[in-house]
Amino acid sequence: MEEIRLEALRALTILAIHDEEFRRAMWVDPEGTLDRCGFALNDAEMAQVNSFFNAVRESVDVDLFSGLTEAHR
């Protein structure tokens, strides 16, 4: 599995921490939001981003709790 480039991950983290508009928009339209913010992710990177958001966006918290409990152990 191809890694997402480190610079992109760092920039995404900074935006997710500091930019309220980015935080709201990412859950609605990850690809469009990244495009508007000037990210040029390749197809493999974008697939990873979409895979994460698809897994989490539509889930209800109870599903996340189960993952959380397993993660923490």
Partner 1 sequence: MTRRFYEVNSVAYRSKKANLDKLPASERVEIVFAFLDELILALPLGPRHRHLLQIHLSVGKERAVAWPQMSSIQLPILVHAAITGDERPALPVAGACTLLYLGADLFDSIIDDELPPLWQARDPSEASLAATTLLGALPQLSIARLQEQGTPPERLWTLAHLFAEYGLTMGAGQYEDLLFSSLENVSIEDSRAMAEHKSGAEYALFATAGATLTTEDPSAIEAYAAFGSCFGIAQQLINDAQDIWGHKRGQDLANGKRTLPVTHALCTLRGDRRERLQELLTSARESTELHDGVRELLAEAGSLRYTALIVWLYQQQARSHLASASPHEPAARELYKLLDQASILPHPRKAQSSD
38 vs 62 by CB, closer to partner 1: 62
Which DSSP symbol is given to 38?
Answer: T
Rg of the chain in Å (alpha carbons): 13
Helix (H) or strand (E) holding 43: helix 43-57
Instruction: Tell whether residue 54 is a contact of partner 1 (CB under 8 A).
Output: no
d(CA 62, CA 31): 26
Looking at residues 20 to 39 of the shown chain, list those that interact with partner 1 (rule: CB under 8 A). 20, 23, 26-27
> Among residues 13, 21, 32, 42, which is the contact residue for partner 1, using CB under 8 A?
13
Which one among 21, 28, 44, 67 touches partner 1, defined by CB under 8 A? Answer: 67
